[in-house]
Structure 1
């Protein structure tokens, strides 16, 4: 199962410089030094700052296709969006947070993992659940260690 820890967010701008030259994923081509405008990551990841939070994924239930969200990823979760079929959502199920894809099957909604090794959950069979928000972005680490060094988690009670 993939669970989430809710993180505190610094609300001041986080600026990066955008490279205007596309970065091909195939054979590299010689590139000139092209620098674009500054981009505020908060505007991209947290477009509704009063309704968006960051969460860290714990577990492997969402590491399969199509989302490929690995253990340790940071998620931007927007509470202002209405959850719809196909959205990846953070839900509270029996007092525990979980990350799953929301699917409508017939008249029922299910929480479905992207990793086939995990079982889907029929929401009609649950006593209590609540969708806390829609995951809009995932930040993953390509070099182990740095993301965990700079982001501390705390559990909500």
Structure 2
């Protein structure tokens, strides 16, 4: 089962330069005159900052298609969105957090991993089940250590 660790979010703007055109694989970076406008990553990743949180994935139950959410990935989780079938959600099940795809089967809700090595579970089989939010973005680090070193975790009580 993939678990999640809830993280603090810096609320100050995080600015990057947007490339105005798609970048073909293998094409060199655009020159300065071809750079686009500055983009605030907080506005993209955190459209509802008071109701969005970051979570780090621990485990590989979501590592298969279609999500390919790797162990250690950061998730942005929006609590304002109504969970729909097919959404990836962070749920509290019997007091523990997990990240799974939400599916409607018959009259019941199921938590389904993207990794086929793990079984789907009927949410009704848990004593307590609550969706905490819908995953809207996944940030995966390609060079180990940089992201993990700069994001400090805190425990939710």
SS at match of 1:72: coil
Q: Distance in 2 between matches of 1:125 and 1:60?
A: 22
Residue 127 of structure 1 aligns with which residue?
Answer: 127
Which residues in structure 2 correspond to 1:36-75 (within 5 Å)? 36-75=36-75
Report if aligned partners of 1:21, 1:31 keep a CA contact under 8 Å in 2. no
Residue 22 of structure 2 aligns with which residue?
Answer: 22
**TM-score scaled by length of structure 1:** 0.94
Q: Distance in 1 between matches of 2:82 and 2:116?
A: 26
SS at match of 2:42: helix
Are the structure 2 counterparts of residues 115 and 20 from structure 1 closer, same or farther at C-alpha, using a change threshold of 3 Å?
Answer: same
Q: 1:127: Cα distance to partner?
A: 1.7
Residue 156 of structure 2 aligns with which residue?
Answer: 156
List runs of 5+ in structure 1 lacking aligned partners: none
Q: Distance in 2 between matches of 1:21 and 1:81?
A: 30
Cα deviations by residue, 1:77-117 (Å, 9 ceiling, x for unpaired): 00000000000000000000000000011111100000011
List runs of 5+ in structure 2 lacking aligned partners: none
Residue 103 of structure 1 aligns with which residue?
Answer: 103
Are the structure 2 counterparts of residues 99 and 32 from structure 1 closer, same or farther at C-alpha, using a change threshold of 3 Å?
Answer: closer
Q: How many residues align?
A: 155
**TM-score scaled by length of structure 2:** 0.94
Are the structure 2 counterparts of residues 29 and 153 from structure 1 closer, same or farther at C-alpha, using a change threshold of 3 Å?
Answer: closer
Cα deviations by residue, 1:12-70 (Å, 9 ceiling, x for unpaired): 10000011132113xx3466421000000000000000100001001100010000000
